[in-house]
Amino acid sequence: MHPILKLVAERLGIGLLLLLAASALIFGLTEVLPGDAAQAVLGQGATEENLANLRAEMGLDRPAFTRYFEWLGGIFTGDMGLALTNKLPIGEQIARRMSATLFLAFWAAIISVPLAILLGLIAVRYQNRWPDKLISGITLASISLPEFMIAYVLIFFFAVQSMTWPIWGWVGMDPVAFPSFASVSPGMPLSAQLYAIALPVAVLTLVVLAHMMRMTRAAILNVMQSAYIETAELKGLNTFAVIRKHAFPNAIAPIVNVVMINLAYLVVGVVVVEVVFAYPGMGQYLVDAVVKRDVPVVLACGVIFAAVYIILNIVADVVSILANPRLRHPK
């Protein structure tokens, strides 16, 4: 077997094992949660008979080992069951919520990934000069701030105070304020949806941009120490051409890794942002399910988040393998 195919097969096998381990961990954590799920659904006024009937319906009267494999079999066949709170199919709810989360993550990635790479190249080009120090300082500040704080700062300035800015009068425009609640629906025009998600996209961009930019800068600077870079400089190429044509292509593997990790974060780590902006995505769905002790929804969301994270990390590994010329051209 070709070395690349062998390594890819190994990564896929490891990813499947990790997903199974993650599903077992998620199921086990829901089992040890304090309280009674049936009591949380029916309320404190429920009778013992109603509680017993609901526990039987939820399968709580059977061993956890049996329930885990039944639930796992349903996940692999696409049957995620019904939500306890509204009796709606979890698969349909997740499909709708996941599309909303992917829509938010897509626009954040479209902005953050090219901008992070460009800023990383600029920082390397002007290493230890004021552009590098300015970019590094701003990105370090954004890394240091928690997401909810960045979100509330943007809401204050661009949703609450934006209407009073004198700049609108200076440029001859009517005051514009972005919505503090990212309310979107499938029937909305694309322009209206983009206007609604402007602030959550800005928060996610600031959060992931800093990490990707700093890793891009570090990866390129590491390659710049190589002997062939010095040879390219001795040939008379300008610094930016050396970085673009020689350093950046050879630093692509670590850059792809960090980009994929941050793309996974855009999908998996949006819980705080979606809650702050009341965005109808997977993060908000998961939080609502946790509050209501809707265990089937929590399990389904947890497995999907784990699968997305594992798949994107496998993609990063495969791209890193393909970027290695010793594996592409074995002797």
| Rounded CA separation 70/53 (Å) | 19
CA angle 193–194–199, rounded 5-degree value: 115
Query: Is 221 contained in some domain?
Result: yes
> Residue 279 sits in a domain of what CATH number?
1.10.3720.10
CA dihedral (26, 32, 33, 36) positive or negative: positive
Alpha-carbon span 193 to 198, nearest angstrom? 9
Q: What is the pLDDT along the chain (331 residues), one digit of tens a residue?
A: 667 777 778 888 888 899 889 888 888 887 777 666 666 666 676 777 777 777 777 777 777 788 888 888 888 777 787 787 777 888 888 888 888 888 888 999 899 888 988 888 888 888 888 888 888 888 888 878 888 888 888 888 888 777 666 565 554 555 567 788 887 777 788 888 888 888 899 988 888 888 888 888 888 888 777 777 777 777 777 777 777 777 777 777 778 888 888 888 888 778 888 888 888 888 888 888 887 777 888 888 888 888 888 888 888 887 777 766 655 555 5
The reply to whether 61 falls in a domain is no
Contact (Cβ atoms closer than 8 angstroms) between residue 248 and residue 287: no
User: Which pLDDT does position 39 carry in this prediction?
Assistant: 67
CA distance 226 to 111: 31
Q: 294 to each of 38, 58, 121, 162, how far by Cα in Å?
A: 9, 10, 47, 39
Structure tokens at 269: 């780590």
**DSSP string of 187-254?**
TS-HHHHHHHTHHHHHHHHHHHHHHHHHHHHHHHHHHTTSHHHHHHHHTT--HHHHIIIIIHHHTHHH
In 3D space, the residue among 61, 121, 117, 81 whose CA is nearest the CA of residue 241 turns out to be 121
Residue type, 63: P
What integer pLDDT is reported at residue 173 of this predicted model?
54
Alpha helices in 225-280 (DSSP H): 227-234, 239-242, 248-250, 252-268, 271-276
Q: What's the total number of domains in the chain?
A: 1
Distance of CA 276 to the CA centre of its chain: 16
**The pLDDT of residue 181:** 81
How many residues does this entry show for the chain? 331
CA distances from 218 to 234, 252, 256 (A): 23, 12, 13
Q: Which domain holds residue 280?
A: 3-34+80-328
Q: How many CB atoms lie within 10 A of CB 329?
A: 7
The confidence score (pLDDT) of residue 175 equals 59
**What pLDDT sits at residue 166?**
59
Per-residue pLDDT, 171: 47
Q: From CA 259, how far away is CA 316, in angstroms rounded?
A: 8
Rounded to 10°, the helix 90-125/130-144 angle is 150
Residue type present at position 18: L
User: Around 151, how many Cα atoms within 13 Å sit in the side-chain half-sphere?
Assistant: 21
pLDDT of the residue at 327: 57
- Residue 59 placed within a domain: no
Map residue 36 onto helix, strand or coil.
Answer: coil
| Residue 85 falls inside a structural domain | yes
- 89: β partners: 82
Asked if residue 246 belongs to a domain, the reply is yes
Q: How far apart are CA 207 and CA 128, in angstroms?
A: 24
Query: Residues 162, 175: contact at Cβ < 8 Å?
Result: yes
DSSP letter at 163?
G
Determine the Cα–Cα distance for residues 200 and 279; give it in Å rounded to an integer.
Answer: 9
Could you tell me if residue 250 is inside a domain? yes
Distances (CA, A) of 44 to 50, 51, 53, 81: 11, 10, 15, 25
Rounded Cα distance between 298 and 26, Å, is 9
